Amino acid sequence: MHFMRCGEPGKERPFVVSGGIGYDLSGLVSDIDARFWDSPGVDGVRAALAAGSLPVADLSGLRVGAPVARPGAVICIGQNYVAHAAETGSPPPVDPIIFFKHPGTVIGPDDDVRIPKGSQKTDWEVELCVVMGRTARYTSSPAEALACVGGYAIANDVSERAFQMERSHGQWSKGKCCETFNPLGPWLVPADEIPDPQALRLRSWVNGELRQDSSTADMIFSVAVIIHELSQYMVLEPGDIVNTGTPQGVALSGRFPYLRAGDVMELEVEGLGRQRQLLVPAP
């Protein structure tokens, strides 16, 4: 089972796909947002599916939006794979590196990504995204923190490296918050349907050429540790999303050219579907 939001930007409707069949959730929930996790929640949707009370929906031809309505927070973890830290010229961090993206960066998985005006170093980053299903506040252990996760999705933490590293004076936000810089989806998969978030293959391609090929097993800080650590410094709320870091193989390594208009990014995380974005100039 996985959740989707389909329709034109700003007019998406919630759906669930089970057994390859789409079902309209509009009569059960207004959207997949913070309120969704309280009622009906994943269990409520499963009960409705079992009861046969959800209308079948034809999703073909519909634009796929981000599977989570505009989140309250987009929290990111930097340099969370040893090889990626090395390719940036940094030692592996001893504590999670935390930064934020503007919630307005979240777009659909196949929407165009806009290259910012003046950009010379736009880069791709395939990441496992965590969607919070319960409030996490001062969790007592990684196990307790992991129980607060509602589901998982694919995120592309698009970055402008010159803005991030040369113009931010140590703060990464300028290179992370440009419009369209967080494609998300296509699916939101409930946490209990991903038996081990540390055993997922991640890959990315640019113009059909493989760039990243790794596993979440290579994370320095696991999902459970990340959520536990974050909860000591902030309150994570239902619907918030956490991007957990990218593996090696980005343009910042110097092994590949940065993105240009007309390039195509494709990203995949095992069990979570696939994204595809065309790079276009910002209007």
Could you tell me how far CA 240 lies from the centroid of its own chain?
11
Does residue 178 have a pLDDT over 80? yes
CA dist., res. 213 & res. 249, Å (int): 8
Q: What pLDDT does residue 200 have?
A: 98
The per-residue pLDDT for 75 is 98
- Rounded distance between C-alpha atoms, residue 111 and residue 91, angstroms: 34
Token code pair at residue 264: 């195509």
What pLDDT is recorded for position 14?
98
CB 215 within 8 A of CB 122: no
**Confidence label for 165 from pLDDT (cuts 50, 70 and 90):** confident
DSSP 103: G
Q: What is the pLDDT of residue 170?
A: 74
pLDDT tens readout for residues 37-74 = 999 999 999 999 999 999 999 999 999 999 999 999 99
Cis peptide bond prior to 186, omega within 30° of 0: yes
Mean pLDDT to the nearest integer, 15-27:
97
What confidence category does residue 166 fall into, taking pLDDT thresholds of 50, 70 and 90? confident
For residue 153, give both structure tokens. 């999705």
Question: Is the pLDDT at 168 greater than 80, yes or no?
Answer: no
Cis peptide before 40 (omega within 30 of 0): yes
Q: Which alpha helices (H) appear in 73-115, and where do they start and end?
A: 82-87
pLDDT given for residue 66 in this prediction: 98
Please say whether the beta carbons of 276 and 264 come within 8 A: yes
- Cα angle, residue 202 at apex, residues 24 and 178 outer, rounded to 5°: 75
- For 80-135, what is each residue's pLDDT tens digit? 998 887 887 778 899 999 999 999 999 999 999 999 999 999 999 999 999 999 99
Band of residue 215 on the pLDDT scale cut at 50, 70, 90: very high
Tell me the pLDDT tens digit for each residue of 135-146.
Answer: 999 999 999 999
Domains with residue ranges and CATH for the chain: 2-65 (no CATH), 74-281 (3.90.850.10)
Per-residue model confidence (pLDDT) at position 148: 98
> What pLDDT sits at residue 86?
81
User: 245: closest CA among 270, 265, 217, 271?
Assistant: 217
pLDDT at residue 169 is higher than 80: no
Closest of 119, 101, 104, 106 to residue 281, by C-alpha: 119
CB neighbour list of residue 52: distance below 8 Å, 6 or more residues apart: none
**Residues of 121-132 as b/e, b for ≥16 C-beta within 10 angstroms?**
bbbbbbbbbbbb
Burial of 179 (0-12, 13-18, 19+ CB in 10 A): middle
Report the alpha-carbon distance of residue 3 to residue 11 in Å, rounded. Answer: 16
Instruction: Tell me the per-residue pLDDT of 226-275, one tens digit each, with 9 for 90 and over.
Output: 999 999 999 999 999 999 999 999 999 999 999 999 999 999 999 999 99
CB-based contact 23:17 (threshold 8 Å): yes
pLDDT at 92: 87
